[in-house]
Each structure stands twice: as C-alpha cells, then as structure tokens.
Amino acid sequence: MSYFKTAILLAGLTGLFMGVGYLIGGASGAMIALVIAAAMNIFAYWNSDRMVLSMYGAHEVDQRTAPDLFNLVAELAGRAGLPMPRVFLMDEPQPNAFATGRNPQNAAVAVTTGLVQSVSREELAGVISHELAHIRNHDTLLMTITATIAGAISMLAQFGMFFGGNRDNNGPGIIGSIAMMILAPLGAMLVQMAISRTREYAADDLGARICGQPMWLASALSKIANAAHVVPNPEAERNPATAHMFIINPLSGQGMDNLFTTHPSTENRIAALQQLAAEMGAHGGTLSVNARGNYPRRSPWGRPSATRGPWG
C-alpha cells in the first residue's frame, strides 16, 4: 500500500508540474517544462549526494578513523543485503542522520556527532537500519526526484508571472498568475511532504526488521525528537528544503500543523514500532523483511545494553 500511495502522489506531483507548464504556454509550455525538469533531475541524479554532504560539512570515515561506527554500518548492511555504503560524520551537536545516493551501489549514510554521543549502540543500530532501509527502498533517489520536481514547479510558477498580462499567449492572466504563484508551490510542497511521510513509515518498518529490534529504533526516535526541539541545526535552518532527508525533522519550528510537516509525528511512528515489536514477539522474532526477504530476525548483539554511549 505504501508504494501504491507513493506512486499516486508522485503522479499527482508530475501532473501538477505539467499543468503549470500548460497554463503558461499551452502544449509547448508543458513540453518545455518537461525538458527543464528532465535536465534538473539528471543533474540531481549525479550530484545531489555530493551537494548535500558538502552542505553539512560531512567528512568520510573508515575502519581506521571510526571503527565502531564503520563496523556497525557494515554489519547492518550485510543483514539488509546491501553493498557497504560510504559512512560520513557531521560535526553537529543535534542528534540526527540521513542517507543519500542515487542507488545502493552509490549510497552514503551520514550521522551527526551529536547522535553517536547521545544514544546507545543499540539505538544507533536502529537509526542506521532506518537509513539503510531508505537505501534498500530507493527512497534516496525518489526524494531527490520529488524535491527537484517541486522546485521546478515553484520556478515555473514564478516564471508564469511574466506571461500573465499578455493576451496573445493564452496565459492565465494577472489574477490567474498570482493564484498560480501561490497555489502551485503550495500544492507541490504538500504532495512532496506526503510522499516523505509515507516513505518514513516504510523505512521505520523495514529498518526495525533489519536490526531485529523495533524498540531500539523507537527509543532512538524519542531521544532525537526531544533533542531536535532544543538543539538547533543552523545548516538545516538555512536549507529547510533538505529537512525531509533526516530521520527526524531537524528544524526547530514549533506549532506547525501536521499538514505542513515533512515527517509523521514521532508518537505515531513509535506506536507503529510498538505494534511491530508485539507482532515479532508473537512470531518468535521471525517476521520477514518483505515478501522476498529471508534475513535472520534475532538481535545480533544479544539483549540491549544499559550503556548510554555507543562506544562504551
């Protein structure tokens, strides 16, 4: 159902994009808009991962510079049936993480120093498993495409103002142009956020199955969400369009309506993980990753540790 819903939302976003192009220049405008979007998507496909990692000052680590983190990612990637992704650290006190890359063969997992300093190894395993689930589900590419199309819609809506008063081009007119400038980007933003929320639930579910303990991820989500409200992420505040990439919304805005959030509520995510934990317990921890998966569900580390830090 999550894939079907995502496909419907993505089709709606594409239709909105083509509609804006048609309002500006008719059939030829729609085709020009399509060409522009294709060029933007090609650029994003090859460069988005490097751009966002550079934006957050992430530096790559390996088995020599961060052996515990690197080995944990390697073990979980093996359980998920994924190639080893590149591992990055961000010098950022807010605990958070994201995955990026155009495909599993060119993927990266980035975590903040605040995350590795504030959660247990088990909780960190839950977070990394969530990010690996995004990679396995190809969400990193999907979210790049949706962000690019949404950006193209906003650009076209602004561009349409130049044609609003010209009667010869069958444009939308001044009133229509103003409405389009407001409503088209808003509609694109809402669809983009709906896609993001859908994919977060799917990544929580698969991530919990990868690490074998849904409550590790639930505990981590609670800690990260609480910290995100009090520990600012200045780079994310300067680049709010990247907020959907993180496991928890890194922006500090309060009182936003659920309609305008990039992530599901943390309480709902934790409730879904609690239900999954109960189901896995009832089945002896043997629920599969998906219909084709056949990975072990038992914890690879034994019972959760009481240690507060992941390196202790």
* Torsion sign (Cα): 104, 106, 112, 116: positive
One-letter amino acid for residue 207 of the chain: G
Instruction: Determine the Cα–Cα distance for residues 111 and 128; give it in Å rounded to an integer.
Output: 8
Strand order in the sheet with 59-61: 59-61, 86-90, 108-112, 97-100
Q: What is the dihedral of CA 275, 146, 128, 243, to 10 degrees?
A: -90
Does the annotation mark 131 as catalytic? Answer: yes
Ramachandran area for residue 101 (φ above 0: left; ψ -120 to 50: alpha; else beta): left
Instruction: Determine the Cα–Cα distance for residues 296 and 209; give it in Å rounded to an integer.
Output: 9
Ramachandran area for residue 290 (φ above 0: left; ψ -120 to 50: alpha; else beta): beta
Instruction: Determine the Cα–Cα distance for residues 132 and 139; give it in Å rounded to an integer.
Output: 10
3-state helix, strand, coil in the chain (%, to 5): 65, 5, 30
Of the residues 122, 123, 131, 200, which is catalytic?
131
State the catalytic residues.
Answer: 131
